[in-house]
Amino acid sequence: MKGFGTACNGAASIATAAIVFGLACAPGAAGADPTPISRAETLLFMTPHLKDVQPPRRLHYAFRKSGTLEKGFSDTVDVDITAGSDGKRKTAMRSFSSTGQVSSPEFEDAETNPVLLFYLDREVSEMKRLTSGSTFHFSKQIRIALAESAKIKDVEIHFGGRALRAQQITISPYESDPYRDRYPDQRLMAKQYIFTICEAIPGVVYEVRGVVPASGGSPQGEAVIDETLTFAAAGAPK
């Protein structure tokens, strides 16, 4: 069974994702895109999510895929935050599944939570697999949507027995895709991404969800695809 990490192409793809999405792992990093940054981009990729996370620390996420299109599965994803011998913060991703462990390269001095890049790298790879389209094109559509049409609202989440204030960012990147008619399964063009962030959650990123809503023939309104990565716990690396 394909796990969360196995859809990624390894170390090179995660590093490439940071470039393709026009993102750096620290605010103000050299080479950042000079165009104006939207509020959605700022919240997700230009905010120091890890500033209050003291190393060594592990952020543990649970991934679940369901829907009528394909067989679902569950997986786990860890963000390990450590301090190098030079005192600089290092972060690395690890995904576990029935196919084994998949790791990303270390990000040095990362301030934003790399779990977002890990999720989006997998996502564009999955869209390529399902449509035979281009990962660069899907990355571009996501970036355009974050810059131009993202919807942001205040929400309440429940974690650890507490009600917490959070923000939810929603995009529909393929809705205005100029090439959408080329793809055989038009249901996929309705895919939405919902990012939920909460300052009270270690690492700030609470949940990332990619969902293709139920089509007319879906039983009991079940989504065509529903892929959710949710913060589960924080602890010491093992």
Q: What is the pLDDT of residue 71?
A: 94
- What is the fold, at CATH topology level, of the domain defined by 5-235? YmcC-like fold (2.40.360)
Report which of 3, 8, 6 is spatially closest to residue 123, judged by C-alpha positions: 8
From CA 32, how far away is CA 54, in angstroms rounded? 26
Amino acid in the structure at residue 15: A
194-227 b/e (C-beta count within 10 Å ≥ 16 → b): bbbbbeebbbbbbbbbbbbebbeebeeeebbbbb
pTM for the predicted model, two decimal places: 0.86
Per-run averaged pLDDT (10 residues), the chain, 238 residues: 49 46 44 72 93 94 95 93 83 75 74 91 93 94 95 97 98 94 94 98 98 73 94 92
Distance CA 114, CA 98 (A): 23
Given this model, what pLDDT does residue 28 score? Answer: 41
Residue 20, SS3?
helix
DSSP annotation string for 106-141: PEET--S-THHHHHHHHHHHHHHHHH---HHHHHHH
- Burial per residue of 38-63, b for 16 or more beta-carbon CB atoms within 10 angstroms, e otherwise: bebbebbbbbebbeebebebbbebbb
Distance CA 216, CA 45 (A): 36
**Of 19, 26, 5, 2, which Cα lies nearest the Cα of 139?**
19
Q: Which two tokens stand for residue 49?
A: 């999510």
| 109 neighbors 89 (Cβ within 8 angstroms) | yes
pLDDT single digits (tens) 108-129: 878 899 999 889 989 999 999 9
